[in-house]
């Protein structure tokens, strides 16, 4: 995947995030399901930072990685949902499907 494609993908994730329009005083929880590559993660962090979202200041990450075992995605999706994040970002289509099957109330993005 090209850097431009990653920015579009991750920019979309940030755009659907309900926290984007909220006051900056709340600490938002962002769940991440999957195994993002270091490049993908860096682009994601940069996209958030460019929009004023700084880890530890106004956003915290709750990451669940299947560590090469995609069959564990449903279990990790349920764990993320139990922590009630403001948004869940899924790395793969399989991760997104697991999230969609685990919640209808928490916004998610691929």
Question: Domains of the chain: which residue ranges?
Answer: 3-109
As to burial, measured by CB atoms within 10 angstroms (0-12 exposed, 13-18 middle, 19+ buried), residue 65 is middle
Rounded to two decimals, what is the model's pTM? 0.74
CATH no., domain 3-109: 3.40.50.2300
Task: Please check the confidence at residue 24 and state whether its pLDDT lies above 80.
Answer: no
Please write the tens of the pLDDT for every residue from 46-95: 999 999 999 999 999 999 988 888 899 999 999 999 999 999 999 999 99
d(C-alpha 74, C-alpha 72), whole Å: 6
Task: Please check the confidence at residue 17 and state whether its pLDDT lies above 60.
Answer: no
Query: Which pLDDT does position 5 carry in this prediction?
Result: 46
d(C-alpha 44, C-alpha 31), whole Å: 13
Q: What average pLDDT does range 19-34 have in this prediction?
A: 75
Whether 85 contacts 13, CB under 8 Å: no
d(C-alpha 84, C-alpha 80), whole Å: 7
């Amino acid at each position: 995947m090209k850097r431009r494609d990653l920015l579009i993908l991750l920019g979309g994730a940030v755009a659907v995030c309900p926290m984007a329009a909220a006051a900056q005083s709340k600490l938002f929880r962002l769940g991440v399901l999957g195994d993002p590559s270091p490049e993908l993660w860096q682009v994601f962090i940069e996209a958030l930072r460019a929009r004023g979202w700084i880890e530890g200041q106004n956003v915290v990450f709750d990451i669940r990685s299947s560590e090469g075992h995609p069959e564990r995605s449903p279990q990790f999706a349920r764990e993320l949902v139990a922590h009630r994040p403001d948004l869940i970002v899924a790395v793969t289509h399989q991760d997104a499907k697991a999230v969609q099957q685990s919640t209808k109330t928490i916004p998610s993005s691929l």
